[in-house]
Amino acid sequence: MEPLRHVLRSLLIPFQGGQAVLPHSTVVQVLPFAKSLRLENAPPWVTGAILWRSRTTPLVSLERLVCGITPGPGAHSRIIVVNALSNAPRLPSFGLLGARAPQLLDLERTAISLDEATEPLPAGVLSRVRINGQAAIIPDMDAIEAVLSRLMAT
């Protein structure tokens, strides 16, 4: 009898300067890049908002959040719409900007380890990890959502 495999269906979201990993179950839809509407009083890593399913949906730039850089959208850029984990009524979802379409990954426990980097984590990053030897970040969804919830309440 084969031992049980513990696998988490995940998505690797590439962005300029790195990649983020999220459970597949948090992702609602992957959209082509679209020009965003401006949001007043937003932090620099919130690039604006799109109208998605008749709701104003804020967009988070992983490049700005993690690396502090402001790249322009590329021909292959995507908006990855994720469910908000909080119960904030004005923030059921938000978008993460990726450089390309995310990659589906069956993530096994043995394939992921903590990255031993010593520099402090940027706000909005829960952890640095290595997946099959490649560097990635795990976004701090609670911290991101807290900022977005306050922004959407105004």
Asked if the structure places residue 115 within a domain, the reply is yes
Parent domain of 149: 7-153
**108-128 per-position pLDDT tens digit:** 988 999 988 778 898 899 999
At 146, list the tokens: 């807290």
Q: What tokens does 108 get?
A: 């096994």
Tens digits of per-residue pLDDT, 35-69?
A: 899 998 999 999 999 999 999 999 999 999 988 88
Residue 151: helix, strand or coil by DSSP?
helix
- pLDDT tens sequence across 72-107: 777 689 999 999 988 888 899 999 999 999 999 999
Q: Classify residue 111 as exposed, middle or buried by CB count within 10 Å of its CB (0-12, 13-18, 19+).
A: middle
Q: Number of structural domains, the chain?
A: 1
Q: Is residue 1 one of the residues assigned to a domain?
A: no
Among all chains, which residue has been given the structure tokens 């990954």?
105
Task: Report the alpha-carbon distance of residue 80 to residue 22 in Å, rounded.
Answer: 11
| CATH number of residue 24's parent domain | 2.40.50.180
Structure tokens given for 86: 């909080």
Let me know if residue 2 belongs to a domain.
no
pTM of the model: 0.90
Q: Kindly list the strands in the beta sheet with 55-61, ordered across the sheet, starting from the edge strand earlier in the chain.
A: 27-32, 78-83, 93-98, 55-61, 46-52
